[in-house]
Chain A
Amino acid sequence: MQIKVVKNILDASRRIAAENRALFDQHGIYVINLMSSPGAGKTSLVENTIRTLQNDFGIGVIEGDIQDSYDAERIGRLGVPVVQINTGGACHLDGNMIRETFTNFDFAAIDLLIVENVGNLVCPAEFEIGENAKVMLLSTPEGADKPAKYPLMFAESKVLLINKIDLAPYVDFDLDKARRDALAINPDLEIFEISCKTGTGLEQWLEWLRQKIASVKKR
């Protein structure tokens, strides 16, 4: 007997993500899922974002790493609630892991939840966690060929932050190619050129984020 099915294999994990999202919506929390290679500057970006926005908004952070709690300690020093998830070898965060952190947060006091995914250019793109936006960080030393080589990451993201822009001249980063290829894959992608080191371009990113937080904010 033949049975026509046509169902997405990831529907079960997507259902959990949708439940997470409903909870975030109910509390007026904007959630970003921050993805990049290891070493692209995710934690520095999170630190910069917190320092500028923490007087205006309640911020919570979830740190995903295979092991260690170094990142959570960095973020904890800024005085915001942070939970470290150690995936113990898994290459990405999923909706279930995110859900398990909820008891650690007072959602009434949070407007922005930043989820720093495991450093990886492949798997995080394929899993939803209940985020409003996937934000992709590409640093110039990695090379401008990354959109062409890891297209799904760029296809799934709403924002591309090109970090370490101050290093671009020293590492022969072809900015035009990176932009062109990323937009070929995803014409709606918002692209900001930033440097967490010098502060270049961060204001445009933060303004984008402020508007998004305000659009869902509870009060």
Chain B
Amino acid sequence: MHELSLVHSLLELIDEQAAEHGFSRVNLVKLSCGRISGVEPQALKFAFSNTIPGTLCAGARLELDILPLKIHCFDCDREIYSNNADPTTCPDCGGSRVMVCSGFEELQLVELDVD
């Protein structure tokens, strides 16, 4: 719901990087976030493409790497990567004696390709 404000924060961060590294054009922006971080990829891409005209990022591509949801299932007694959006159910045995190990990582700027 606040992907637009995430994009504004992202563009500020890129402006800081531009001042530090002295570039004037961004070709590619690589981001990452956890599977259940709450970031909605489609909304983020839409907000990005609508915000970048007239900025350093005009025409830039956005890549979003979604980090997997990993849970520990106490019944299977192992860690399992899950494509299931529900982090409280084991994708293998369907059991609910689980613990979330990762997937909440917040949105990060990982890499820029610039001129």
Q: Which residues of A contact B (CB under 8 A)?
A: 1-13, 90-92, 122-123, 125-126, 147-149, 151-152, 155, 177, 180-181, 184-185, 187
A-B contact pairs, 11 of them (CB 8 A): A1-B21, A2-B113, A6-B108, A9-B106, A10-B107, A11-B13, A126-B106, A148-B86, A151-B87, A184-B98, A185-B87
Interface size class of B (residues with CB under 8 A): 35 or more
The B contact surface, by secondary structure, is: mixed
Binary per-residue interface labels of chain B (9-51) against chain A in the complex, 1 for a CB within 8 Å, 0 otherwise: 1101100010001010000000100001110000000000000
Does B96 contact A9, Cβ atoms closer than 8 Å? no
CA–CA, A11 and B12, complex, Å: 11
Does A148 contact B99, Cβ atoms closer than 8 Å? no
Q: Which residues of B contact A (CB under 8 A)?
A: 1-2, 6, 9-10, 12-13, 17, 21, 23, 31, 36-38, 71, 86-89, 96-100, 104, 106-115
Q: Return chain A residues, CB-CB under 8 Å to B88.
A: 147-148, 151, 180-181, 184-185
> Chain A nearest CB: distance from B72 CB in Å?
9
CA–CA, A7 and B113, complex, Å: 15
Q: Return chain B residues, CB-CB under 8 Å to A147.
A: 88
Q: Which residue of A lies closest to B113 (CB)?
A: A2
Q: Which of A5, A181, A184, A187 contacts B109 (CB 8 A)?
A: A5
Given A122-B1, A155-B100, are A8 and B112 also a contact pair (CB < 8 Å)? no
